[in-house]
Structure 1
């Protein structure tokens, strides 16, 4: 199959697979009586990040470490500047206490930690273990906050509790979605590596652009639909949670699976930019505990400028 066709088909498979996986997993979780907050933090945030995990592990298998790391850096920049920006531009977003007190600090710390760990030119298994420990600690803290009722719960955002006779179908969705994501990742990485060679650009650039935007499609779909439905807590929680899990869980698991090469360009440019985007959120989030339309538009413009510069200067 043509490399360019492989990229397109792989991206489509990731989107379809992630949709089935998230819907099936959310429905099963709701059926088991898990609260909407925990469904959002675990199933939705991790589920929409599974394309990045599949791409990362497949990239590691193909010795394409820069693509895996570039994908995470690019995806987090897409999540905050483009997707969160679009959501705020549509409807100003009010922030919950947990977002300010827990999610925002962890997102900033994880971005800075990744930059520090990658500064020696590789992500080792020890680095991966450190990131995974942070992911586990974050998840436990969120669960405890939900149980103790320290924060207002998320609204019922996922009307997914299945009737008894649909449980089997939800399981099929979950397993089938996972299988499609795995196959789609294989096609996408294989095609992306070939395309990078054909165009004479680095694997990191492909990861930062085509792959990052493609694997962010589940977050984009979830956020836009949540915003349209007025479920703005999910819009913010999904993006911030996904950005945290992308670094801690996804890249941590990928590095644990196989050490990853990190290019000098990623260390000098892209990882610092990812950290800068996280840091920019601090004054924006703390000012009035909301993201205004103007700030949303500024985020989107910032992403467009970033993308244009990446394409113009590095391809």
Structure 2
């Protein structure tokens, strides 16, 4: 089992690195083609940031492991809130001042409850997949409309997001990084899924749990790096915005993969154990950050509580292996 374990580790490293280069090249190319930074941030960067989860979910579904894909989506959302924002807030409390985020928080809650309802029959169908894709398109269009309005008002989230897009990358280099990133994303996601599933079966872990743990944590590492870096630059809006956007994309784009590519029954533990935890953490984040009295901040003690929830969740998963 040593070789599959090493391949999983190397695949995760390559997956994270190649996703960053894919986004870098795609964003640089889009800017050189005259697309506005705002549109790039809401489309190219948003989709590219979720590329590891999407490709892993697609690979797992095509290889007959849809529960791994479902676990990746749910586990990434849990990890993003509990681990990524928990650690980030412990490094530096996150101040929230963006009007756009105040609209996104209720939207994330609504989408979380709506998508979770699809699991009530313990089945993901092609119809569910089509609804998820339609929701993704509608969400992207809505956010573009809202962001264009807020950009005129100087919303800090829009300003911070636009500053992240490369402005001096030659077109030839942009295409090169785009191609390299895409090829490595495809190869590393396939190797990751194949060897992670092999490890799971060897240790008696379900496909769902391997998606919820190793794969979810690994594909959330870019969000952790981006959030901590944003917090250290006092860009709390960007750090939170990245997580909210990533979680919405996971629910729509990542879960659409098993629904469209491998429709059928799902592990009941996803409904009875993991979805309630994902909903609970999303509600908790909403309470912490929405700013009921005008002051919106994710404090260190709140980050510590989120991190403790993540540790507790991992203990729960591995104490009930089946």
Same fold (TM over 0.5): yes
Alignment of 1:300-315 (within 5 A): 300-314=307-321
Deviation at 1:121, TM superposition (A): 1.8
Q: Does 1:232 align with 2:232?
A: no
Q: Deviations over 1:139-177 (max 9, x none)?
A: 1111111222376133243151125xx211111111211
Q: Deviations over 1:241-290 (max 9, x none)?
A: 01000111221244223315311111110112111111112211223222
Query: Which deviates more from structure 2 when the two are superposed, residues 289-298 or residues 121-130?
Result: 289-298
Deviation at 1:51, TM superposition (A): 0.7
Measure, in 2, the Cα distance between the counterparts of 1:159 and 1:192. Answer: 33
Deviation at 1:41, TM superposition (A): 2.9
**1:36–1:158 CA contact under 8 A, matched in 2:** no
Measure, in 2, the Cα distance between the counterparts of 1:23 and 1:157. Answer: 13
Query: Which deviates more from structure 2 when the two are superposed, residues 71-80 or residues 276-285?
Result: 276-285
**2:37–2:165 CA contact under 8 A, matched in 1:** no
Query: Which deviates more from structure 2 when the two are superposed, residues 194-203 or residues 252-261?
Result: 252-261
Q: Which residue in 2 is equivalent to 1:272? A: 276
Unaligned runs of 5+ in 2: none
Q: Which residue in 2 is equivalent to 1:157? A: 163
Measure, in 2, the Cα distance between the counterparts of 1:25 and 1:232. Answer: 25
**1:85–1:298 CA contact under 8 A, matched in 2:** yes
Measure, in 2, the Cα distance between the counterparts of 1:42 and 1:302. Answer: 32
Count of residues in correspondence between the two structures: 312
Query: Which deviates more from structure 2 when the two are superposed, residues 57-66 or residues 251-260?
Result: 251-260
The alpha-carbon distance between structure 1 residues 267 and 300, as it changes in their structure 2 partners (threshold 3 A), is same
Query: Which deviates more from structure 2 when the two are superposed, residues 206-215 or residues 232-241?
Result: 232-241
Q: Does 1:208 align with 2:220?
A: no
Query: Which deviates more from structure 2 when the two are superposed, residues 5-14 or residues 154-163?
Result: 154-163
Deviation at 1:210, TM superposition (A): 0.4
The alpha-carbon distance between structure 1 residues 69 and 291, as it changes in their structure 2 partners (threshold 3 A), is same
Measure, in 1, the Cα distance between the counterparts of 2:201 and 2:262. Answer: 23
The CA RMSD measured in Å over matched residues stands at 1.9
95, 98, 101: which one pairs with 2:100? 98
The alpha-carbon distance between structure 1 residues 307 and 189, as it changes in their structure 2 partners (threshold 3 A), is same
Structure 2 length as normaliser, TM-score? 0.91
**1:53–1:254 CA contact under 8 A, matched in 2:** no
Measure, in 2, the Cα distance between the counterparts of 1:309 and 1:168. Answer: 49
Structure 1 length as normaliser, TM-score? 0.92
Q: Deviations over 1:173-225 (max 9, x none)?
A: 11211111111111011001111110011111111110000111121222222
The alpha-carbon distance between structure 1 residues 33 and 90, as it changes in their structure 2 partners (threshold 3 A), is farther
Q: Does 1:246 align with 2:246?
A: no
Give SS of 1:162's match.
coil
Measure, in 2, the Cα distance between the counterparts of 1:310 and 1:173. Answer: 38
**2:118–2:124 CA contact under 8 A, matched in 1:** yes
Measure, in 2, the Cα distance between the counterparts of 1:258 and 1:162. Answer: 42
The alpha-carbon distance between structure 1 residues 37 and 292, as it changes in their structure 2 partners (threshold 3 A), is farther
Measure, in 2, the Cα distance between the counterparts of 1:157 and 1:191. Answer: 38
**2:18–2:184 CA contact under 8 A, matched in 1:** yes
